[in-house]
Amino acid sequence: MNLPLSSLGILVCLAIAGCGGDDPASPDFTGPRVTITYDSAPLADVQIRLHATQSGSSLAYAVSAADGIARFPQLPVPEPTEYFVSLESIGDGGWILDQKFTTTSTSGIRLKPLVDNASQQIALPRGAVRPLYRVTR
């Protein structure tokens, strides 16, 4: 394949710089995000599901990274006036979420539409996270 030198240079620049918009795995992602914390610390490996109603199916979901940020690359259009939130711990970090946060009807967590409020926070209350294993001596 014979590419002119200028075309090859463009391809190399694109490969190095990257192209194609916001990558939710990138720390530079500027799209909608929700930060989840517990005891003022970021909480990783939490799947955050967004629902239009308390009993409705999930419209979008994302998983929080080590920094506690769940990045949402795709949202429904139009967005509902508010989201009902359900959470699930999906990591093997030795902890689990209290079951009341796993369904929208018991979590009590609501979020505003993410397009207008692109950075929101969920601060879980004390007791929402508990260890999976008990330390015995």
Residue 27 confidence class, pLDDT cut points 50, 70, 90? low
78 preceded by cis ω (within 30°)? yes
Burial-class residue 103 by CB neighbours within 10 Å (0-12, 13-18, 19+): middle
Q: What is the pLDDT of residues 100-110, one digit of tens each?
A: 999 999 999 99
* Average confidence score pLDDT of the chain: 83
Pull the structure tokens for residue 133.
Answer: 């294993």
Is 119 a domain residue?
Answer: yes
Kindly state whether residue 64 falls inside one of the protein's structural domains.
yes
Q: Is residue 51 part of a domain?
A: yes
Q: Could you tell me the residue range of the domain that residue 74 belongs to?
A: 22-131
pLDDT tops 50 at residue 8: no
Domain count, the chain: 1
Alpha-carbon span 33 to 86, nearest angstrom: 15
Judge whether 11 lies within some domain.
no
Read off the CATH number of the domain in which 66 is found.
Answer: 2.60.40.1120
Band of pLDDT at residue 80, cut at 50, 70 and 90: very high
Residue 136 has pLDDT above 90, yes or no: no
Instruction: For residues 103-120, give the mean pLDDT.
Output: 93
What pLDDT is recorded for position 114? 94
Distance between CA atoms of residues 42 and 126, nearest Å: 14
88 against 17, higher pLDDT: 88
* Residue 6 falls inside a structural domain: no
Asked if residue 123 belongs to a domain, the reply is yes
- Give percent above pLDDT 70 in the chain: 76
Task: Choose between 134 and 20: higher pLDDT.
Answer: 134
| 17 domain-assigned | no
Q: Look at residue 89 and tell me if it is in a domain.
A: yes
